[in-house]
Amino acid sequence: MAQVLEFKLPDLGEGLTGAEIVRWLVEVGEVVAVDQPVVEVETAKAMVDVPCPYGGVVTARFGEEGAEVPVGAPLITVAVDGPADDDGRPAGEQRSAADGSRADGPRAEDSRAQAPRSEGSGNVLVGYGTSEAPARRRRVRPGQSAPSAPATPAASTANGRAATAAGGRASASLRARTAGAVDEPVPVISPLVRRLARQNGLDLREMAGSGPEGLILRADVEYALRAAGTQTGRDRTPTTEPHPRVPPAQAPAQAPSQAHAPATGAPAAPEATRIPLKGIRGVMADKLSRSRTEIPDATCWVDADATELMRARDAMRRFAEERPQNPVTGGPKISVLALLARICTAALARFPELNSSVDMAAREVVRHPAVHLGFAAQTERGLVVPVVRDAHTRNAESLTAEFARLTEAARTGTLTPAELTGGTFTLNNYGVFGVDGSTPIINHPEAAMLGVGRIVPKPWVHEGELAVRQVVQLSLTFDHRVCDGGTAGGFLRYVADCVEQPAVLLRTL
């Protein structure tokens, strides 16, 4: 006899509390192997294929594509091979002739004691290992027989509707509960089901769900509402004249809402569009709000002549093109972002106060020994901040390659949670959007962010004469708790000096 195991959404790590179902990879009735991906979900940080630790036949799926699923909520149920007794039921499960409930006897205890413990698959997701799955027993409500096979959601819903149709509104979706069971948790997972019931005045504590183990589904609430509407209509059926006429003298005055209603045929005013804050955008909203609430930030900025920096970048490019076969000098083109990142790591070595965070619980400023440099990347899914680990140990070529790899992963949605967390300082190149300046919001819990505007030709006094130079605006937003304005100004001035004269970096290389 097959044993039905329920696979729940695992903890995906990094404090994530749920995920959105993007695409189901299996169908009901399909045979799956151990560690086979069954669903593709989108967390607040990345796209993840979730593998199932059980092998068998998929008997049910929970949630449609696009639905939000909290951690710990069931994803699928899988029927796997298990021990069975002579009449086809799992060993130790006997149905009582009186009420159809399940009775566990000594044979059941022996069977559970002797059942071999399955080994974990060893496949590890972030924050989750597919260790041994605990044996589950299907809970049977009084008055129902123990199922000999797993019930699909459609069959369960049909059973719930058949039971609902037996009575009026009171018995539409209610079950008998004792006085001591009022404080039991309501078997509802989906927030949509809770909202639907709340908007229509239904008490979920009194409803009997048709899902696994009494889970209340949306179909249960909708059917209860239809049954309640039918019963209400019967209660209001008139026994005398169906449409009593009201004398003209007694006609009620027109309601204000009707008096000011637009004439028939007039175009209705467009309704506002509500866009849910979820996924990456939801996490960014929470993080930016927290940054503005907790961090007393300040911003300083300066214009810099980036002509020499651009010339140095062009010289590096020409040098690599002239020696493409040289393993030392040949390589990818050095990006301006990589040069700015190298300047940032040198500046943070001189001003380590800005490579820190604040622990208000301990009332301490935590200075980080390594520079994990985040950089803002705009994607179709929203703004993400990938992190370059140990940026202070990388040269311009290594930084260019890592920026390219992380940017491509961000565009395809394959960044891992580890690549999106743990930053200590952020570089924001908003100049790619064609703007000169900004006052960026600090990426909590970091203490500073350097913003870089577009590099454009502008009039500039160079060596005492007016000339057209490549000018860029630099801005630094910093947490005033970690340093004073003098430190922030010194950091920004050093960055500007390196942009104007890249040879300044040679002193510290």
As a residue count, the chain comes to: 509
Distance CA 496, CA 62 (A): 55
3-state secondary structure 146-191: CCCCCCCHHHHHHHHHHHHCCCCCCCCCECCCCHHHCCCCCCCCCH
Distance CA 207, CA 210 (A): 10
Distance CA 134, CA 71 (A): 17
Record the tokens describing residue 118, joined without a space.
């399955």
Q: Are the beta carbons of 426 and 376 closer than 8 angstroms?
A: yes
In Å, how far from its chain's centre is CA 372? 23
Strand locations in 177-262 (E): none
Which residues on neighbouring strands pair with residue 20, listed in sequence order?
42, 68
Question: Which residue reads 């006052």 in tokens?
Answer: 439
Distance CA 490, CA 350 (A): 9
Buried b (16+ CB within 10 A) or exposed e, 338-365: bbbbbbbbbbbeebebbbbbbeeeeeee
Q: Are the beta carbons of 356 and 367 closer than 8 angstroms?
A: yes
Reference 349, options 424, 407, 409, 418; nearest CA is 424
Q: Are the beta carbons of 17 and 145 closer than 8 angstroms?
A: no
SS3 call for 36: strand
DSSP 8-state symbol, 149: S
- Residue 243 annotated to the active site: no
Spell out the alpha helix ranges (H) of 262-417.
279-294, 307-322, 336-350, 396-412
Q: Are the beta carbons of 180 and 152 closer than 8 angstroms?
A: no
Q: Residue 193: exposed, middle, or buried by beta-carbon count in 10 A (0-12, 13-18, 19+)?
A: buried
Active-site residue list? 480
